Amino acid sequence: MNPLNPLHDPFVVYLRAMVAARIARLRAEEDRSRGASAIEWAIITAILALLAITIGAIITKKVTDKANNINTG
């Protein structure tokens, strides 16, 4: 390994090769029909985020209600 040029580090060379292979697969014509499109992923992500926010709000309300009912007197 050359300390002056970290791009020749074996890990970096391997990582660059893996990224290049992944990009090549993504650009391949036959690969475009597989999986969900970006819009589908955005919709799925939005639904999951909404679900997480709703669950968080329910939990926060229940904890706040219980905390307000604690007798400190």
Domain that residue 61 falls in: 9-68
Instruction: Supply the DSSP symbol for 3.
Output: T
Please state, in angstroms and rounded to a whole number, the distance separating the CA atoms of residues 9 and 50.
Answer: 43
Q: What is the pLDDT of residue 3?
A: 60
Q: Would 16 be classed as within a structural domain?
A: yes
Q: Would 15 be classed as within a structural domain?
A: yes
Q: Would 64 be classed as within a structural domain?
A: yes
| Residue 38 phi, psi (nearest 5) | -65, -35
Please state, in angstroms and rounded to a whole number, the distance separating the CA atoms of residues 8 and 59.
Answer: 51
Q: Would 19 be classed as within a structural domain?
A: yes
What are the residue ranges of helices labelled H in 1-73? Answer: 10-27, 38-68
Per-residue pLDDT tens listing for the chain (73 residues): 456 677 777 778 888 888 888 888 877 766 556 666 888 888 999 999 999 999 999 999 999 999 999 988 7
Q: Would 73 be classed as within a structural domain?
A: no
Kindly give, in sequence order, each residue whose CB lies less than 8 Å from that of residue 25, ignoring residues fewer than 6 positions away. 31
Tally of structural domains, the chain = 1
Q: What is the pLDDT of residue 47?
A: 95
